[in-house]
Amino acid sequence: MIFRPEQLKIKDQRMKPFIDPEEIWGYLNNSPATKAQVREIIAKSLDKNRLTLAETAILINATDPELIEEIKQGARRLKEKVYGQRIVLFAPLYIGNLCTNNCAYCGFKASNQKVKRVTLNREELIQQVTALEDVGQKRLILVFGEHPKYDASFIAESVRTVYGVKSGPGEIRRVNINAAPMDIDGFRTIKDAKIGTYQIFQETYHPETYSKVHMGGRKQDYDWRLTALDRAQEAGIDDVGIGALFGLYDWRFEVMALVRHTNHFEAVYHVGPHTISFPRIQYASELNIDKGHLVTDEEFTRLVAILRLAVPYTGLILTARESAAIRDEIMQFGVSQIDGGTNIEMGGYAKKGKHEDQDIDFEQFQINDNRSLNEIINELIDQKYIPSFCTACYRLGRTGEHFMEFSVPGFIKRFCQPNALLTMAEYLEDYAPAETRQKGYLLLQEKLDEIEDEVFKTKLIAKINQVKEGHRDLYF
Ligand code: SAM
Ligand code: SF4
């Protein structure tokens, strides 16, 4: 693969191609998994060490049910050790579904005549954000098709509008973006609007498959997309999310490529991606893909556990594409963020009533978890997870935060867990029905009782009391 310097415009050493399919298949085909090796690798990861590509390949090649179970349990222990019981919540908000690309898997593809094309105007955007704030959302990801209308200035303006909406005690404190690749100036423009994470998925890292499923438009250019996050870095956006759309090509290859992409970031920018996403293909209007690589639930669970072990300090995102049952099952193996109360129908959040009957002609694909935000929070609390809306690190300029959580001793205890509890208390005060409020405070008390440092505990209780008195947005 050749990177064209005019696309990248960054220093020579960074132009080396970092995805080499032969290298990846070389590892996969030459790394048999023995029991002893698999156990050694899990132990290395539990010691909070990043895994190499060779080690990741060995975990992927472990097919003995006993070893698969050990990998899953290793991932579960690592998650508890590194992240504690927090789950960060967010919601996706589709701004516009105009698109000039023809991605075989996507309902918004240009050739799809059935889909109704909508771009939210300022008023409509404000209505959507108001509806999201009114149920307690604090973190959004704005999603855009790829279209000249959605240039960097348009995206930056949307971000500013979202930050400006205040409904009652509600506000959006972190706006992430999922949008088409830009040039470096474009990335500077959206950085100035104070975006949180810039997220983009390579979809498939396998070049031939990539060409097959991207049948038109700018997205046909594999390298332009693969190097997008390098240009983002160059523009000063150091908080980025990567991902692959599982079901296009062999899942084992995509997992290796995600780890390789992470290695590239660590080698060049000294901080890995903030998050990894692993959407599985869902039904969409005019879906047109070869079904040979669809990923089973069992493979999906394995791949999440392997990713957790391979990149212990990178956030893992599991979305409402998956059913509630699968999300509940897989969360334990290392997921750190989920969306809640998701509605991907264009303009859908401001509509009254429950989002159960999806109109696929208004949506990119079908989602399978239609629970409201409060239903999800209820269930998280029942399972002793702390629902978190924390945005402290981003607000204090502590980016590369997952690295910090992972590497700074006590960081989670001192910052993440207390901040999660503070944002949960805000939610309980402002948005929760009585039943959720009651059990939420019981969980909060349990977590307070676990804190051994009395001085710190007193400080946290004081802040929680401030929240109860009406102060908002408190964090450590
Ligand atoms: N237009 C932007 C782009 O292509 O980067 C935004 C992408 S889209 C709104 C977000 C992600 O949804 C895509 O990158 C793709 O991975 C995923 N996606 C597309 N079609 C899907 C489908 N049928 N099922 C599940 N995920 C899908
Ligand atoms: Fe357009 Fe993105 Fe859908 Fe491709 S995945 S058709 S680029 S909205």
Distance between CA 273 and CA 417 in Å, rounded?
Answer: 22
Distance between CA 204 and CA 387 in Å, rounded?
Answer: 31
* Strand-pair partners of 174: 139
- How far is the centre of ligand 2, averaged over its atoms, from the C-alpha of 404 (Å)? 34
Residue 280: which of 272, 267, 271, 289 has the closest Cα? 289
- How far is the centre of ligand 2, averaged over its atoms, from the C-alpha of 261 (Å)? 22
pLDDT in tens, the chain (476 residues): 334 444 444 444 445 578 999 999 999 999 999 999 999 999 999 998 999 999 999 999 999 999 999 999 999 999 988 778 899 999 999 999 999 999 999 999 999 999 989 999 999 999 999 999 999 999 999 999 999 999 999 999 999 999 999 999 999 999 999 999 999 999 999 999 999 999 999 999 999 999 999 999 999 999 999 999 999 999 999 899 999 999 999 999 999 999 999 999 988 888 889 999 999 999 898 888 999 999 999 999 999 999 999 999 899 999 999 999 999 999 999 999 999 999 998 889 988 655 566 677 778 888 899 999 999 999 999 999 999 999 988 888 777 655 556 656 677 778 889 999 999 999 999 999 999 999 999 999 999 999 999 999 999 999 999 999 999 999 99
Distance between CA 298 and CA 330 in Å, rounded?
Answer: 10
- The full set of domains in the chain, from first to last, is 5-79 (no CATH), 83-405 (3.20.20.70), 409-468 (no CATH)
Distance between CA 465 and CA 251 in Å, rounded?
Answer: 48
CB 35 within 8 A of CB 64: yes
Tokens of 454: 């009395």
Residue 379: which of 369, 389, 387 has the closest Cα? 387
User: Which ligand 2 atom is at minimum distance from the Cα of 145?
Assistant: 8
Which one of 115, 218, 245 would you pick to mutate in the ligand 1 pocket, going by the greatest count of ligand atoms within 8 A of its CB? 245
Nearest CA to ligand 2 atom 5: 106
- How far is the centre of ligand 2, averaged over its atoms, from the C-alpha of 106 (Å)? 6
- Strands 174-178 and 139-144 come out as parallel
Distance between CA 225 and CA 1 in Å, rounded?
Answer: 13
Output the pTM of the full model. 0.94
Which one of 276, 364, 366 would you pick to mutate in the ligand 1 pocket, going by the greatest count of ligand atoms within 8 A of its CB? 364
How big, in percent rounded to 5, are the helix, strand and coil portions of the chain? 50, 10, 40
* Strand-pair partners of 315: 275
Tokens of 190: 């959206």
User: Is 214 near ligand 2, meaning CB less than 6 Å away?
Assistant: no
Which one of 95, 103, 117 would you pick to mutate in the ligand 2 pocket, going by the greatest count of ligand atoms within 8 A of its CB? 103
